[in-house]
Copies of this chain bind each other. A is one copy, B any other.
Amino acid sequence: MSGLILHEYPASGNCYKIRLAAAQLGLPLERRSYDITKGETHTPEFLRDINANGRIPVLQDGDRFLTESNAICFYLANGSRLIPDGHYDQADMLRWMFWEQYSHEPNIATLRFWLRYVGIEALADPQRIQIAGKRDAGNAALALMDDHLASRRWFVADRFSLADICLFAYTHVADEANFDLEAYPAIVRWMEGIMTMPEHVTIDA
């Protein structure tokens, strides 16, 4: 890996995960920003040169392009201290990363995007009718995390791993979607553990 370029929307937690993993690993990333609220990932040039699917983040490594935030994190971290040893612990780490994309991100990140970036008055009916369900599912996800962390410092194998990075990204900005993080004390303690690490970078850095 060399000359890594991250094509991103900086406020996206999915893009931030990658910057956070790279910072933890000491890997330099060149950043190229696109405003998804202005359609900048759907221009003919972006669709032709970066991602025909019109989605970010995209990691460019030479002439290879990789999508899906958690897969990009795995690519950067493969063989590093951010992935535990042992087949069970590796699968358990991926368990949390798949859970994040299925049970956490579609609720917490989507509500954040709708409420903070789109605006509730601009939502369509099929979106507005899902708010209550996503609120409940988001709180259920946070409660599950809080239960897990009540007796543990990190999600997997007693060590800081990609599971923590991928879950931190949207959890630490859940207040922007009007989730009350103070109701989840184990999550607050876990977040403080991450934010005080020397390699840490913030989402607006």
Which residues of A approach B to under 8 Å, CB–CB? 52-53, 61, 64, 66-72, 74-75, 78-79, 87-88, 90-92, 94-95, 97-99, 101-102, 105-106, 125-126, 129-130, 132-133, 144, 147
Contact = CB atoms under 8 A, between A and B. Distances in A.
A75 B98 contact: no
Contacts of A133: 126
Q: Main SS of the interface on chain A?
A: helix
A129 B98 CA distance: 26
B101 A75 contact: no
B92 A66 contact: yes
A102 B70 CA distance: 11
Contact of A95 (B68, B90, B102, B129): B68
B68 A88 contact: no
B78 A98 contact: no
Given A68-B99, A88-B64, A126-B133, A74 B94 contact: yes
A68 B94 contact: yes
A99 B67 contact: yes
